[in-house]
Homo-oligomer: A and B are copies of this chain.
Amino acid sequence: MNYPSGVKKGKIVSIISYKNRGMTLESELNDSNLYYKEKKIAYIYKKPTPIKLVKVDYHRNLIQEGYFEKPSTTDYNGIYKGKYIDFEAKETTSKTSFPLSNIHSHQIEHIRNIIEEGGISFLIVRFVRLDKTFYLKAEDFISFIDNNSRKSVPIGYFNEKGFVLKNSYKPLIDYLKIVDQILEVE
């Protein structure tokens, strides 16, 4: 088997053990989306992570070598009240700010395109160590990027511009309530 230069046979782990970290923001959102779907409130789903294929045996449907690519879009998208809805969800261990290294330049471009075409777009950011989850409108996120040279968004900006997402029972994170609030005002 040929590895690309610099790559040797390394530690092998399965995706299951990697993903199984308990009730993360992702699992709470997946659960909420399932609730929205079952109640026919909205249809929102997670996109697969893009992978760059290097060696493929198409006859056996087998990928023998591939690499994870940086996502060029956001994690979730779907339909709410006929409208296009799209968001990115991130956790940070920082207590003071959300590092912009969490969002790639292609994702920022993607978010700009959604705003341009009138879609609903936002970030859900959880400050894990503060046990605080915010909804930040894409417009406010882009406005921060365009007007700052900082490499992270301070928590003060989330307090000022964002909406706090409290955990509820069904759904676990009722982010569409915030979407409704915003749609009413606009």
Q: Which residues of A contact B (CB under 8 A)?
A: 1, 3, 7, 9-15, 18, 37, 40, 42-43, 45, 47-51, 53-68, 73, 77-85, 113-114, 116-119
Count of chain copies: 2
Contact across chains for B84 and A83 when beta carbons are under 8 A apart: yes
Beyond A7-B60, A7-B62, A51-B51, 7 additional pairs, beta carbon < 8 A: A18-B58, A42-B117, A43-B116, A43-B117, A48-B49, A62-B65, A77-B77
Which chain B residues border A37 with CB–CB below 8 Å? Answer: 113
Q: Contacts A40-B117, A66-B66, A116-B43 hold; do A10 and B84 have CB atoms under 8 A apart? A: no
Q: Contacts A58-B13, A64-B65, A68-B63 hold; do A81 and B43 have CB atoms under 8 A apart? A: no
Which chain B residues border A62 with CB–CB below 8 Å? Answer: 3, 7, 10, 65-67
* Distance of A118 Cα from B84 Cα, bound (Å): 10
The winner among A9, A59, A63, A77 for most chain B CB atoms within 10 A is A63
* Distance of A57 Cα from B4 Cα, bound (Å): 14
* A66 to chain B: closest residue by CB: B63
Q: Which residue of the partner chain, among B48, B56, B67, B116, contacts A14 with CB atoms under 8 Å?
A: B56
